[in-house]
Amino acid sequence: MELDTPAYTFVPLREKDTALVREWLLRPQVRRWWADDPDEHDYPEGTIREWMKAVRGEDPTDMFVIHLDGTPIGVIQSYRVHDYDDYIAQVGPLEGPAFGLDVFIADPALIGKGHGPALIRDFVRQGFDRYGVDYCVIGPSKSNTAAIRAYEKVGFRYLRDYREDDTIDPPHVLLDIHRADLV
Ligand SMILES: CC(C)(COP(=O)(O)OP(=O)(O)OC[C@H]1O[C@@H](n2cnc3c(N)ncnc32)[C@H](O)[C@@H]1OP(=O)(O)O)[C@@H](O)C(=O)NCCC(=O)NCCS
Protein backbone atom coordinates (compact mmCIF):
# COMPACT_ATOMS: atom_id res chain seq x y z
CA MET A 1 0.00 0.00 0.00
CA GLU A 2 1.33 3.46 -0.83
CA LEU A 3 0.96 6.08 1.85
CA ASP A 4 0.15 9.56 0.56
CA THR A 5 0.91 11.31 3.82
CA PRO A 6 3.51 10.20 6.33
CA ALA A 7 2.16 8.19 9.26
CA TYR A 8 3.76 8.83 12.63
CA THR A 9 3.42 6.40 15.49
CA PHE A 10 4.80 6.63 19.01
CA VAL A 11 6.04 3.33 20.36
CA PRO A 12 6.94 3.10 24.06
CA LEU A 13 10.73 3.04 24.53
CA ARG A 14 12.08 -0.33 25.77
CA GLU A 15 15.30 -1.33 27.50
CA LYS A 16 16.33 -3.16 24.32
CA ASP A 17 16.34 0.17 22.42
CA THR A 18 19.36 1.32 24.46
CA ALA A 19 21.99 0.82 21.74
CA LEU A 20 19.83 2.60 19.15
CA VAL A 21 19.15 5.66 21.30
CA ARG A 22 22.78 5.83 22.45
CA GLU A 23 23.88 6.06 18.82
CA TRP A 24 21.22 8.73 18.15
CA LEU A 25 22.15 10.83 21.21
CA LEU A 26 25.75 10.94 19.98
CA ARG A 27 24.82 12.42 16.60
CA PRO A 28 25.93 16.07 16.41
CA GLN A 29 22.54 17.69 15.74
CA VAL A 30 21.00 15.79 18.64
CA ARG A 31 23.95 16.18 21.00
CA ARG A 32 23.99 19.93 20.31
CA TRP A 33 20.67 20.31 22.16
CA TRP A 34 20.44 17.24 24.42
CA ALA A 35 23.91 17.26 26.03
CA ASP A 36 22.85 20.27 28.09
CA ASP A 37 23.26 19.06 31.68
CA PRO A 38 26.54 20.37 33.13
CA ASP A 39 26.42 17.65 35.81
CA GLU A 40 26.17 14.83 33.28
CA HIS A 41 29.84 14.01 32.84
CA ASP A 42 29.21 10.74 31.01
CA TYR A 43 26.72 11.90 28.32
CA PRO A 44 24.82 10.11 26.89
CA GLU A 45 24.88 7.47 29.67
CA GLY A 46 23.27 9.74 32.29
CA THR A 47 20.48 10.61 29.88
CA ILE A 48 19.95 6.94 29.06
CA ARG A 49 19.90 6.03 32.78
CA GLU A 50 17.13 8.62 33.33
CA TRP A 51 15.17 7.34 30.34
CA MET A 52 15.39 3.74 31.51
CA LYS A 53 14.15 4.74 34.96
CA ALA A 54 11.10 6.14 33.17
CA VAL A 55 10.78 2.94 31.10
CA ARG A 56 10.71 0.92 34.36
CA GLY A 57 8.06 3.24 35.82
CA GLU A 58 10.46 4.76 38.38
CA ASP A 59 10.01 8.26 36.91
CA PRO A 60 6.69 9.73 35.69
CA THR A 61 7.95 10.73 32.22
CA ASP A 62 6.54 8.80 29.25
CA MET A 63 9.18 7.88 26.66
CA PHE A 64 8.47 7.01 23.03
CA VAL A 65 10.39 6.13 19.87
CA ILE A 66 8.92 8.03 16.91
CA HIS A 67 8.24 5.85 13.88
CA LEU A 68 7.76 7.28 10.39
CA ASP A 69 5.85 4.78 8.27
CA GLY A 70 7.16 2.07 10.60
CA THR A 71 10.80 3.20 10.67
CA PRO A 72 12.24 4.55 13.94
CA ILE A 73 13.37 8.17 13.42
CA GLY A 74 13.67 9.79 16.84
CA VAL A 75 12.56 10.15 20.42
CA ILE A 76 9.74 12.11 22.03
CA GLN A 77 8.98 12.32 25.73
CA SER A 78 6.09 13.84 27.65
CA TYR A 79 5.10 14.38 31.25
CA ARG A 80 2.55 16.07 33.47
CA VAL A 81 4.28 19.33 34.30
CA HIS A 82 2.88 19.25 37.84
CA ASP A 83 4.80 16.02 38.53
CA TYR A 84 7.97 18.12 38.47
CA ASP A 85 7.91 20.85 41.15
CA ASP A 86 11.44 21.94 40.27
CA TYR A 87 10.39 22.55 36.65
CA ILE A 88 7.33 24.57 37.73
CA ALA A 89 9.61 26.62 39.98
CA GLN A 90 11.74 27.49 36.95
CA VAL A 91 9.05 28.15 34.32
CA GLY A 92 6.69 30.01 36.67
CA PRO A 93 2.99 29.57 37.31
CA LEU A 94 0.82 27.95 34.65
CA GLU A 95 -2.85 28.68 34.10
CA GLY A 96 -3.84 25.08 34.74
CA PRO A 97 -2.78 21.45 34.45
CA ALA A 98 -0.51 20.90 31.46
CA PHE A 99 1.74 18.36 29.88
CA GLY A 100 5.16 19.10 28.48
CA LEU A 101 7.25 17.44 25.81
CA ASP A 102 10.77 17.20 24.37
CA VAL A 103 11.73 15.77 21.00
CA PHE A 104 14.47 15.03 18.51
CA ILE A 105 14.63 13.65 15.01
CA ALA A 106 17.77 11.53 14.74
CA ASP A 107 18.36 11.49 10.97
CA PRO A 108 19.87 14.75 9.67
CA ALA A 109 18.34 14.01 6.25
CA LEU A 110 14.88 14.27 7.82
CA ILE A 111 15.49 17.64 9.52
CA GLY A 112 13.92 20.78 8.02
CA LYS A 113 11.36 18.87 5.95
CA GLY A 114 8.29 19.49 8.07
CA HIS A 115 8.31 16.14 9.88
CA GLY A 116 8.75 17.81 13.27
CA PRO A 117 5.61 19.98 13.12
CA ALA A 118 3.57 17.14 11.62
CA LEU A 119 4.55 14.53 14.20
CA ILE A 120 4.35 16.97 17.12
CA ARG A 121 0.81 17.89 16.00
CA ASP A 122 -0.18 14.21 16.14
CA PHE A 123 1.62 13.68 19.45
CA VAL A 124 0.09 16.75 21.13
CA ARG A 125 -3.40 15.71 20.03
CA GLN A 126 -2.83 12.28 21.61
CA GLY A 127 -1.25 13.88 24.69
CA PHE A 128 -4.33 15.96 25.45
CA ASP A 129 -6.28 12.71 25.68
CA ARG A 130 -3.54 10.71 27.46
CA TYR A 131 -3.20 13.25 30.26
CA GLY A 132 -6.81 14.47 30.26
CA VAL A 133 -5.77 18.13 29.93
CA ASP A 134 -6.34 20.86 27.33
CA TYR A 135 -3.03 22.65 27.72
CA CYS A 136 0.55 21.86 26.66
CA VAL A 137 3.85 23.68 27.13
CA ILE A 138 7.31 23.32 25.66
CA GLY A 139 10.52 24.98 26.81
CA PRO A 140 13.27 25.07 24.19
CA SER A 141 16.56 26.86 24.56
CA LYS A 142 16.12 30.43 23.38
CA SER A 143 18.92 29.90 20.87
CA ASN A 144 17.19 26.89 19.23
CA THR A 145 15.41 29.01 16.65
CA ALA A 146 14.77 26.05 14.32
CA ALA A 147 12.89 24.18 17.07
CA ILE A 148 10.93 27.30 18.03
CA ARG A 149 9.91 27.78 14.38
CA ALA A 150 8.77 24.16 14.21
CA TYR A 151 6.68 24.50 17.40
CA GLU A 152 5.06 27.72 16.14
CA LYS A 153 3.92 25.84 13.02
CA VAL A 154 1.95 23.51 15.31
CA GLY A 155 0.25 26.50 16.94
CA PHE A 156 2.50 26.98 19.99
CA ARG A 157 2.80 30.63 21.01
CA TYR A 158 5.44 32.45 23.04
CA LEU A 159 4.44 32.71 26.70
CA ARG A 160 7.53 33.97 28.53
CA ASP A 161 11.28 33.82 28.88
CA TYR A 162 12.61 31.72 31.74
CA ARG A 163 15.92 30.35 32.97
CA GLU A 164 16.79 26.69 33.19
CA ASP A 165 19.61 27.16 35.64
CA ASP A 166 20.67 23.50 35.62
CA THR A 167 21.61 23.58 31.92
CA ILE A 168 24.66 24.82 30.03
CA ASP A 169 22.40 27.30 28.22
CA PRO A 170 20.06 28.90 30.81
CA PRO A 171 18.04 31.32 28.60
CA HIS A 172 14.93 29.38 27.56
CA VAL A 173 11.50 30.30 26.27
CA LEU A 174 8.21 28.75 27.28
CA LEU A 175 5.66 28.28 24.51
CA ASP A 176 2.13 27.07 25.08
CA ILE A 177 -0.83 25.72 23.18
CA HIS A 178 -4.46 25.06 24.03
CA ARG A 179 -6.30 22.14 22.52
CA ALA A 180 -8.47 24.55 20.47
CA ASP A 181 -5.40 26.19 18.89
CA LEU A 182 -3.82 23.04 17.45
CA VAL A 183 -3.24 23.93 13.77
C1 LIG B 1 13.38 20.54 16.38
C2 LIG B 1 12.93 19.56 15.30
C3 LIG B 1 12.10 18.47 15.95
C4 LIG B 1 12.05 20.35 14.30
O5 LIG B 1 11.59 19.47 13.32
P6 LIG B 1 11.84 19.77 11.75
O7 LIG B 1 11.15 18.71 11.00
O8 LIG B 1 13.29 19.97 11.51
O9 LIG B 1 11.03 21.17 11.60
P10 LIG B 1 10.80 22.02 10.25
O11 LIG B 1 10.99 21.20 9.04
O12 LIG B 1 9.50 22.73 10.43
O13 LIG B 1 11.95 23.11 10.32
C14 LIG B 1 11.95 24.06 11.36
C15 LIG B 1 13.01 25.12 11.07
O16 LIG B 1 14.29 24.51 11.01
C17 LIG B 1 15.14 25.31 10.18
N18 LIG B 1 15.78 24.40 9.21
C19 LIG B 1 15.36 24.06 7.97
N20 LIG B 1 16.22 23.19 7.42
C21 LIG B 1 17.20 22.98 8.32
C22 LIG B 1 18.36 22.18 8.33
N23 LIG B 1 18.71 21.43 7.29
N24 LIG B 1 19.13 22.20 9.44
C25 LIG B 1 18.79 22.95 10.52
N26 LIG B 1 17.67 23.71 10.56
C27 LIG B 1 16.91 23.74 9.47
C28 LIG B 1 14.28 26.36 9.56
O29 LIG B 1 14.44 27.56 10.28
C30 LIG B 1 12.89 25.82 9.73
O31 LIG B 1 11.94 26.83 9.84
P32 LIG B 1 11.30 27.45 8.49
O33 LIG B 1 10.67 26.29 7.74
O34 LIG B 1 10.30 28.41 9.00
O35 LIG B 1 12.40 28.07 7.73
C36 LIG B 1 14.14 18.93 14.55
O37 LIG B 1 14.77 19.93 13.79
C38 LIG B 1 15.17 18.30 15.46
O39 LIG B 1 14.96 17.19 15.91
N40 LIG B 1 16.30 18.99 15.71
C41 LIG B 1 17.41 18.45 16.49
C42 LIG B 1 17.10 18.28 17.98
C43 LIG B 1 16.38 19.45 18.59
O44 LIG B 1 16.71 20.62 18.37
N45 LIG B 1 15.36 19.15 19.41
C46 LIG B 1 14.54 20.14 20.08
C47 LIG B 1 15.08 20.43 21.41
S48 LIG B 1 13.99 21.59 22.24
The tens digit of pLDDT for each residue in 73-122 reads 999 999 999 999 999 999 999 999 999 999 999 999 999 999 999 999 99
Residue nearest to atom 18 of ligand 1 (CA): 112
Residue nearest to atom 7 of ligand 1 (CA): 116
Of 86, 87, 84, 78, nearest to 136 by C-alpha is 78
Q: Which domains does the chain have, with CATH numbers?
A: 8-181 (3.40.630.30)
Whether the full predicted model's pTM is greater than 0.85, yes or no, is yes
Closest ligand 1 atom, residue 74 Cα: 39
Ligand 1 pocket test: pick from 30, 141, 149 the residue with the most ligand atoms within 8 Å of its Cβ. 149
Taking CB atoms and a 6 Å cutoff, what residues make up the pocket around ligand 1?
A: 29-30, 33, 102-105, 111-117, 140, 144, 146-147, 149-150, 153
Express as a percent the part of the chain with pLDDT over 90.
95
Do 50 and 59 touch, CB atoms closer than 8 A?
Answer: yes
